[in-house]
Structure 1
Amino acid sequence: MSTAPRERVPRPGEPEGPRAIGGYTLLAPLGEGGMGVVHLARRSDGQRVALKVLRPHVVGDDETRSRLAREVASLRRVRSRWVAEIIDADPWAPVPYIATRYVPGLSLHDEVAREGPVRGDDLSWLARCLLEGIAAVHEAGVLHRDVKPSNVLMEGRTPVLIDFGLARVADDPKLTQTGWLLGTPGYLAPEILYGDDPTPAVDVHAWAATVAYAATGRPPYGRGPSMAVMDRARRGEHDLDGVPSQLREVLDAALSPEPGRRPTVDRLLAWLRGHGPAPIARAVSAPLPPVPPTPAPIETMPLALFHDELDALPDGMPDAETRVEPAPWDVPIAPEPAGPPGFSERARRFVLLAATGLTAAAGVAAYPWAGLAALVVLVWLLRTGSLAASMVGERRRLRGAKWYDGPRLVLGAPWDLLRSLPATVLLALWACGLAVAAMLVCYAVAAAPTVTLPVAGLVLVGSLWWGPGGSRLRSPVNRVVRPLSRGLRGWVIALAVVVALGGLLGGLASSGADWLPASGAPLSALGD
């Protein structure tokens, strides 16, 4: 039991101030689940933690609290740089809580969605560190049982495993009556779906599925309804296309529907550390060896119910420039090192985006009316496409891909154009207002038209990019710029085309703007 002080109750008439639980000041909610709520909290010494506050109706009687106390005692033994450990807990407090290390960082799920698949040495580093964290959990006599991309936090190249400790509590009526599933479809081992007792092999299966997601950017068993995903897992129908060949063989073995065919954590770690051969899948005709007996894991409280993604990174972790070890597989999946983009790739993205913005501004300076109209129409189309793609993606997430998604997208284009029009008009008016303000400033300082129009064009382009609703513009543009910036050849070609077009439009703008379809500049008649 924790020795932390109990929650202080304000006296009558005394202002409440920040709410406190067990000596922790609650700063902000981080997530909510069936078992309770997670808060960002601060201890009296200033350390920030993730405070998991249990719901009283879930942990209400002495028997359940005693069980929670035993589970917390087992979880306290988990100590690893790759795991967000438990710092403090008090199951007997009026409001029971568990405090874990708080680490601000993106989950692997969000990191891959934002930056693309992990590749090369970065993938080797991720696979090894994640498995080191699982091994540390197993050494404490605990099974994680919910390893998945949203339970892996990334700080640069370094993964941190969170929410370890899912218990064998399927018989607990407090949980089963709510329909809670012990695990996540797509990362849940097939034997659990059959009702078999879990072994360390379940975490090996989940590790392989998580690494496959990191390497490809997609779940190995696809998307769609949970029943369909679980059926593919039971059949062993996983998709590993795009994974390096030797790693693909190892993941294929680790994703076997038969737990006895999966390599052990020790064999996998030996290979990832470069001290052993690659664990390859056994031949189907080979007899299955008996599963070695393992000590029953100590039951642990299902911490993963509190939230799906906890932005956490433990203290003492290596920074983003941590040196990674060479990958144990030899065949690269790209002609050049990739993965989470480094400084050079980010710099290429910035240069290409900046050149594109300057070219758009030069077009507005050379042909103010025509350029403005073309820019607004382009923004309208891009925002419409982004909105339509989001709707299709949401429908696919809920009920899987359908053959009629494409025709439906085309037939719904008129409605999508209409839906995106009000926000596009608002964005255009906002950007035009700022551009006019920039022109007035240039007029006040007596700037020449060849200076005023480019400045107004830059303000217009920047306002459209960062203005209200600009995310619908940035998303499709980045989808084009990111793949072009990954390779040097494609980036050079794209940049050359953009620079050539920008130079042409800039030369036209320097010789005077063409106000087509108007006959002259606005208010030019006042100067006659």
Structure 2
Amino acid sequence: MADPYAPVQRPGPDAAGPEVGGYRLLTKIGEGGMGVVHLARAPDGRRVALKVLRAHVVGDDEARARLAREVASLQRIHSPRVAEVLDADPWGELPFVATRYVPGLSLHEHLRTEGPITGTDLVWFAHGLAEALRAVHAAGVLHRDIKPSNVLLEGRAPVLIDFGLARLAEDSRITHTGWLLGTPGYLAPEILYGDDPTPAADVHAWAATVAFASTGAPPYGRGPAMAVMDRVRRGEHDLSAVDPVLRPLLTECLAPVPHERPSLTEILERLETWQREQLDDGFDDGLDDELDEAAYAEPVTMTMPLAWGLREREDPDDWPMADPATLLDPDAAELPAPRPDRTPLRRWLLTAGGAVSAVLGLVAAPVLALVVLIFGVLALRTASWTASATRERRQIRGAARWYDVPLSALASPWYAAIASWGALVLLAWTSLLVFLLLVVLLLLGAGDQLVLPLLGTAVVAGLWWGPGSGRVRRPATALVRGWSRRPGLAWTAIAALAVLGLALGWAAGTTGPSWEPFAGAPWAEGTLLGHLRR
């Protein structure tokens, strides 16, 4: 049998190359610690990427059974963003795994030839890679080795490959105890301490890979692997050259503590929000929110015993062994104890508190509260238009300039005028909704104790979900999200909203609604609307 680990020359169309498991090997396209990857022709004629696994990977029946279980799980992954597992033979003389062949450059090669990915292409790349990760996690699998060399570009779209280090999420201790598998600079800090991997570890690797795509440099720098890992453990990354649009999100995803990283769902929501804003920048009439080298050197993949700080390689380099216990021993320097992630709770309380306060304000002082809401809608839409214009300028001429803030302030009146048209449409739609609801309530003979709360709820819902409300909802949501990540500020605001709500409820319950500057409700007895009441 031909040696599948030896280089394979590209054969002619009628040449008979070596075979593994019925697959004709055409040429070697990659090699790693887990095995050698060949471009191969399947029995049905299609081309596949065939990984022939090394002997130490499947050295016994237990390892082969483990591989069979893993392959069975990986075959549940179906996504255009993932090179799916098509076939495998864990029990053959030469065990292999066949995956979809992706005819594209790796992210490393792409950056070496084309340079960093920028602007909307970067957000597209980040979103596509996050979608791939979502498909992986949905199958109950962790990838555990997301890095630039494991991302291929099929056109502009990223495709995640090489699940050589992936393991079932529910069987995270499947590797040898005390051994670290992964790539320095892309491993999450908790993995360096020997903790069980979680989806948050893949989120960390996703962010490091996106940062590399934006700058062409790994976020934790280069140098000896142990020095890189020490920077990872301390959270000492450099994102100063990353596109400003994604820098805040990547900073959060590279947090040293897993619970402080956003979830994959939140990452996708924020990326989709940014993409909708870009579409709005191109056309927004306020009516349709739904439209709304050395430098690139390949990092070393290693197998390392955690306790000793040594790696298993055919060509080991001398690593600086200064105090490896401090760098890698979990007992020498522990991560902060994981804290419950209360950000969603604070975000929910802020949102609900604001909505309830707005409704109670419309019950206690309808006219005054309505005026405040109208000015709030106009302010939020103006801020959205101003922020969109600022981002567009930065995409055209590069990084931020000192004059961006004063220029935005000077241009705010113009953006306020633009925002007012969409605000008028939104207010008109909400007014029609409220009027129709009022007519129905009056015809049903509902009392003021029911009419005002229902109308107040309709006003808030209309302004939040009506046509053109995206430029109200997005800046408001961004503000709430920012506050929720600062516990002191978030709980202060929640307490203030609670006090405001209690005060408004007390005022409405004791003195009744204040219709100043008008004499009374527009449906009071003797008015045209009043005659509708039974």
**More relative contact order in 1 or in 2 (CA 8 Å, sep 6+)?**
1
TM (norm. structure 1) is: 0.49
